[in-house]
Structure formats: C-alpha cells, structure tokens
Structure 1
C-alpha cells in the first residue's frame, strides 16, 4: 500500500511538472487547463455526490491553481477562481447540505448588503459600477460561501491532509513555470523593489502570498505526510524551492506569513503530541532551520545582497526607506478617516478608491481588507469583521483536533492586511478553520471507533 501511495504521489508530481513546462512552451494550454479543472472537478463531485467532501478537494485545487492561471493568462476573467470555488462548494451543499448553525455567516453576508446598495448612489457617474462593486465584494462573498460549507462540517484528519495535497499540487506547476520564465535570478534583480520578473511576470505580492502558503503546505507534508525517505526528500526539495522562489519575489508579506503559520503549528504539535513524536518534530525543525540558512545565503548571492537590504527596509544603496510598509500606511490612514467620517454605512463598496483620490490625491486601490471594510461598510463592516475573527476561535475551544485552526486563521488575517482579498486563498483557507476534525471516521460503527481510540 505504501508503495502504491508513493507511486501515485510521484505520478501527480510528474503530471504537474509537465503542466508547468507545457504551458510555458504552448501558452494557449493555460486556458485548456482552466477548462479541464472545472469540467473534471464538477464531474468528480457529481459522480461521487460529494459523499466524502470531494467539493473541498476540487475547491482547494482551484485555489492552488489561481495564481498559475493568472500569470499564464489562463483565467477567462479576473475573478474566475473565486466564482469556481463558490460554484463547486454550492454544488457540494446541494448534495450534502450545511450545518444549521452556519446562519452566522448568512448574517455576515447580509451585513455587506447596505453598503453595496449605497455604492449605486455614491460612485461617480463615469465609474463602471458593476466592476467597482464586484472587485471589492466578491472576495468576502467567496469567504461567506466557503464558510457556510465548512462550518462544523465533519471531516477526518486524513481528509484535511488530502486538502493540503490538493492545494500543493498546482504550486508545483507554478514553480516549474517560474523557473522557465526566469531561469537566472541574478540577471533580473537590480533593486530592492518587488520584482515582476522573478514572479513569473505576475504581481509579486500575490505570487508571494500563494508561495508563502506553499512554504507552510510543504513543511506540513514533510512532518505529517512523508511515509518513507523517498517522499521525505521530494517534499524537502519542494519546500526549499518554494521558499527560495517566494523570497526572491522581494515581496515580504507572503513569506513571513508562511513562517508564522509554521511556528504556530510546530508549537501546537509539540504541546499535544507524545514524546517520541516531539523528538521527530524537533529534528525536522532543526534541519529546517539549517536548510533555511542555506536558502537565504543562496538567495543573497543570487540577488547580489539586495534581498538582505529588502528585508532590512533599505534601498539598493543601503539607505533606510522612509516607509516601513511601502506607502500602504497612507492608504490605511485614509480608510480610517473614511470610517470616522462615515461611521454607520461607510462610503459604499468600491468608493474608497474614488474617495481617496478626491481627498488626498492618491490614486490607489486598498491593500488592507480590514480598513477597507471599515471604510466602505462602516459599523456593518466592523460587526462583520468581529464575526470572522471570533467564530473560529470559539469553535476551536470545542474541537482541538483541528490543529491547523490557528495557522489557517493567521494566514487569512495576515494576508488580508497586505494583499486584501485579491486571491481566493484567504477566503478558502479561512473557511478551513471552521471544519470539525476528528482523527477517526465518524461514519464507522461505534465498536470500530472504540477499538481505534
């Protein structure tokens, strides 16, 4: 069985390495790949009737593939992945229903409505209202649908690990494409600014976000899913490669988020596991730290020391930059002022960019989902954020077996602070923190469960 599992895993890896290379050589295949994900994914859920939460696996795969599809222009429209995630999870709900207590996230959705309606009256006449509203609202709506699906849904720990696999596979294709797109880092790095060339030609912030998640995913695969030395070494290689490519995007938020997630899970594993498991985890962490020193050194050499200056908040000449947040504090301050000036309903969905331009002369979209929700939704946005923050924490008190709750919640919280909800990843990963996880299959008969406990 172990040999079969190893062979299957290697087969999946080779398929995705092939996808990354094929799309680079024949770019039109990216759209074919996007179509196949949907067709195969929907057929899979329909055929199985979502008996084992197959909808979660398909949604996870779409989330993992989103950045790859965007950088290769495989998306048919900008929010393709978000709509596909919602559609597949809604299909899953049709087959397997939802928790009666998931109404809390229905309330979250209703809290978004007043400002969405307000925007039709506040947005400038020449603005494309549909585009302005959907750009800002589709992320929270994706979170709502994902959360309703996941709320207290019973899954096994093995199924959670399967979800991690499905998130990770498309990242393998992404890495291959990025290496093909920029084989030499040294030749394209000339400053300490975020670098599109090292990010596959796509936004470094979003690439670093998904690769930062990849750092966490492959670390978990090393610790919990490496059944033999062959799999261990494969996962270790991917961990080092994804770490290197995320670092050299020169976008710090995603990288730091990935390592914060790892630290949180390691601490929980050390707290809950038995002594023999603790020693294994400690060895992995020690080797990981040693390997990361090597990755950082290699990254520094490849970038001519510029990556060191980037993380020290210096420019290419070694001068400390005036802004610690690359100017985002200006956006945050303006959004807080919008909230204070319009505390009840906010300025309306999509209006924050226009309002900022009118009041400060700065023409930029929000990078912070927290202050954006306050600015655009007012007190309704504040109540919505409180629901998002406290609900997973309360559920965790009654389900300590979901050891990833805090890590998933941290990914959502840190990501929306530097990359808003441009990607489907923060919405979907947040929802995973709501799953009710058990180490045994609750569909087994009582005698079986007693024997395995």
Structure 2
C-alpha cells in the first residue's frame, strides 16, 4: 500500500473545508456521500486492489458515516454499511480470501433460525423487513469484513494508513461540531446526553466515532509524527477531538477511546526495550497532564456539569438510580426474554416489540450481547463465542499486531452501549483479524 500522494496537512485542511462547505450548503453532504463510493470504486478498479485499496475506501466510509448521518447526507441509515460490504466483496473479487474465514459464514448461518422465527411472527404489527435490516445489517457487515480481513497479511505502516483513513473524516465531524455549536457553555443545562453539542445528532454515536478519533490521532502523534510540526498538529487534533467527545455528555465513546489508548501503551511498553519503556513512561505522564488540562477546560465550559455526569449525578448533584442511562432495564428485559426462550430466542428484530411488556414502551436494544441472547437464544450464544474467541486464536501467532487489543476493546465496549448502529464496530472488529508485521520479509531470489 503506497503512501497517499496528498500531503498529510493538505488532507487535514481539505477535510476542514468540507465541514465548512457542508455547514454553509447542507445539500453538499449528499453530493459528498455520493462521490465517496464513486471515487473509491474508480481507485479500487484501477489498482485492482493490489495494495488493499478496498480497505482504505471502506475505512474512510466508516470514519465519515456519523458526519453524513448528522448532516443528512446518508441516503438511508444502512447506506455506509451497504457500501462497506460492497467494497469488501469487491476486494475479495480482486484479492481472494482465506478459506478458514468461513467460520464467519457459519456465524451468519446461526442467525437464520432467528430470521425464520421473526418471519412467522404474524401476530405482531411489525415491519419485519425493516426490523431484520435494522438488527442484522451490523452483524452481516461484520462477517463480510471479517471474511475479507481474516489472516490477510499487511505491514504495520499500511495498517496505520487504514486507521488514518478512518480518522481523517473525523476531522470533518469535529470542525462541523465547532461550527454547529461554538459555545458549549450556552447549551449545557443538565447532565443528560446533549444533542446540541453533538451536532443535532445522537450523542451516543457522535461520542463513539470521536472516541475512535482520539485513538487514531494519539497513535498518529506517538508513532507516526515525522516532524515537530506534525507532532504539534496531531496534539492539537487530539485535544480538540477529546474535548468535543467529552461535551457530548455521552460517556461510552470517551471511555472506549481512553481504554484503547491505554491498551496501546501497555502493548508498546511490554514489547519495548529499557530505553523504550522509559519513553513510554514519559508519554504516560504527558498524556496524564494533557487529559487533566482538557478535563479542566471542559469542566469550566460546562460549569461543573461534566463531573456530575461522570459521577452519575443529576444537575442538582443527586445520585441517579441507574448508572447506564436506562440500559440496565433493557438488558434485564432481554435476559428475561432469553430465559423464556433459551433455544431459538424470540426472533431477530422482535425484541423492540416484546420489551413493551416489561418496559411499557417499544425500546431498541443498545446492547448487542443481550440482544443476541434474547433474539437468537442458544444460536446467539454460539455466535458470540465465535466472535469473542477467533481473534485471540489468531493473535497467538500475530503478536506484531500492536493495535489488536485496542481494536477488540473498541468493538466490545461499543456493542455494549451503542449496539451496531454504525459500521465502525463491525469494521474495527475485523481489523483484529489482519496478520500484521512490522515489516514484511524480503523475498530472496534463488
């Protein structure tokens, strides 16, 4: 995978300009959404995916999804997942895939009983097609991405290009958030998730993608800054993205981003020599001061509300009964449905309707694990075991994959608070399956 010919700083400026253009002329968001797959297809077709161009395009789509949804650019909620699936299939056409990847095809087969049960649920006034697409598009996207990436060899620097391809459009999202809501202090009145500071879109999903952006630009800062100028730029980007993530008042994405960074530092420390360990120790200290500075500024801008949010208190400082924003009740309802239907489950997409009996209203699952249990029963348990164990089996002989643990943690944490509404957890999970080497061995001629 060759380095992008467009200079790094030019890419950042270009994507900041895109944010301004869309803010001024919202219709351009749809033009942007249409151009990405068209240009991406041209690149993959012209290069015949010789350097995994399909991965770069898919990564870019993952990074831009929340921005498109926030600005009305998506043609439907599954637009990015569908296009990511398309580019993964296109990549397979040109570059084939591992036969061992069919373990993920088996995972898809495990979902079929749940689909059949849902299709027979004639007693409920439910749009079955819509329910199935809503709940299964994420797992399907994950499986197609996993099949493409399963044991695919790649050098670490090229993996960083893929990670950066996700991160670049997150700059667009961040700039747009500053334009949409320049004064956080004026709109924060409580400790609930804030739509104003999230660009008018779901704070949970905005926080998730910004948390991923925190990791992207931390890794870029620590491992791939080629000059002091780039170090300063990446440091500023990390600060700005972290700030906007925190002020969404949605904790899940911020926590996921922080844990990803910690996991990377732990692996770097583990594999470093004594000099490297001392440098990483210094990075820990510097990041601690940086985090303290961002948190203090955020606290000032939110009049102390952010501390109460993370302490699980309301605006008056009273302890809230639930710690997960009502998600405990949804998980409890899912577990009850699972114990009532432990073998086949209640059917894919049927949980939203059936939770009404327990919660008094239709509520979509935020937790993919509890949803798999309630809607797919025993088949869901087997499917989850595949997703949880296969990456670690591959990692035994894949120790140079320094991002492995960070990617896996992002997927696991995200599906527990934001399910698989976006393509990000599916794609990032599949990145754990890549066979990464710091440098590929040079073939010697006989």
- So what's the TM-score if we normalise by structure 1? 0.96
Residue 345 (1) aligns with residue 329 (2) = no
Structure 1 residues 378, 207: closer, same or farther in 2, change over 3 A? same
Task: Name the CA shift for 1:150/1:7 in 2 (closer, same or farther; >3 Å).
Answer: closer
- Note the 1:37-436 alignment, pairs <5 A: 37-122=36-121, 124-436=123-435
Deviations 1:75-96 (A, max 9, x none): 0011111001000010000000
Instruction: Report the CA distance between 1:412 and its aligned residue.
Output: 0.5
Residues 252, 123 of structure 1: alpha-carbon distance in 2 compared, 3 angstrom cutoff: farther
What corresponds to 2:438 in structure 1?
439
The separation in 2 between residues aligned to 1:123 and 1:332, in whole angstroms, is: 25
Note the alpha carbon deviations across 1:61-120, whole angstroms, 9 max, x for none: 000000000000000011111001000010000000000110110101100111011101
Q: C-alpha distance in 2, partners of 1:251/1:124?
A: 37
Contact kept? 1:122, 1:347, Cα under 8 Å = no
Contact 2:329 / 2:359 at 8 angstroms: preserved in 1?
no
Distance change in 2, residues 1:7/1:159 (3 Å) = closer
Q: Let me know the Cα RMSD of the aligned residues.
A: 1.5
Deviation (angstroms), 1:5: 8.2
* In 2: Cα distance, 1:426 partner to 1:167 partner: 12
Per-residue Cα deviation, 1:194-215 (whole angstroms, up to 9, x for no partner): 0000001100000000001111
2:186 aligned counterpart, secondary structure = coil
Deviation at 1:360, TM superposition (A): 3.8
Q: Is the 8 A contact 1:24 1:177 kept in 2?
A: yes
- Tell me the secondary structure at the aligned position of residue 355 of structure 2: helix
User: Partners in 1 of 2:265 and 2:123 — Cα distance?
Assistant: 50
| CA–CA separation in structure 1 for the residues paired with 2:224 and 2:35 | 27
Deviations 1:26-67 (A, max 9, x none): 100000100111101111111111001111110000000000
Q: What SS is found at the alignment partner of 2:154?
A: strand
Quote the Cα distance in structure 1 between the aligned partners of 2:95 and 2:116. Answer: 32
Deviations 1:268-288 (A, max 9, x none): 100102233333322222211
Contact 1:223 1:281 survives alignment (8 Å):
no
May I ask how many residue pairs the two structures share in their alignment?
A: 444
Contact 1:182 1:200 in 2 (8 A): yes
Partner of 1:33: 32
C-alpha distance in 2 between matches for 1:352 and 1:6? 48
For the Cα contact (< 8 Å) 1:59–1:85, is it kept in 2? yes
Distance in 2 (alpha carbons) for counterparts of 1:381 and 1:153: 27
List per-residue Cα deviations over 1:170-226 (Å, max 9, x = no partner): 001001100000000000000000000000110000000000111111111111110
C-alpha spacing 1:218/1:423, structure 2 compared with 1 (3 Å): same
**SS, match of residue 414 in structure 1:** helix
Kindly state the Cα deviation for residue 232 of structure 1 after the two structures are TM-superposed: 0.5
CA displacement, residues 315-345 of structure 1 (integer Å, 9 cap, x when unaligned): 0000010111111111001101111111111
Deviations 1:277-319 (A, max 9, x none): 3333222222111011010000000001000100010000000
Deviation at 1:250, TM superposition (A): 0.2
The 3 A distance-change label for structure 1 pair 189 and 123 is: farther
Gaps of 5+ in 1: 449-453
* Residue in 2 that maps onto 1:451: none
Moved more, 412-421 or 269-278: 269-278
**Matched position secondary structure for 2:66:** helix
Q: Residue 123 and residue 334 in structure 1: after superposition, are their counterparts in 2 closer, same or farther (change >3 A)?
A: farther
When residues 5 and 352 of structure 1 are mapped into structure 2, their CA distance, relative to the original with a 3 A threshold, is: closer
Change (3 A) 1:123 1:44: farther
Contact 1:123 1:351 in 2 (8 A): no
Distance 2:27 2:267 in 1: 44
Q: Decide whether the 8 Å contact of 1:123 with 1:129 is kept in 2.
A: no
SS at match of 1:320: coil
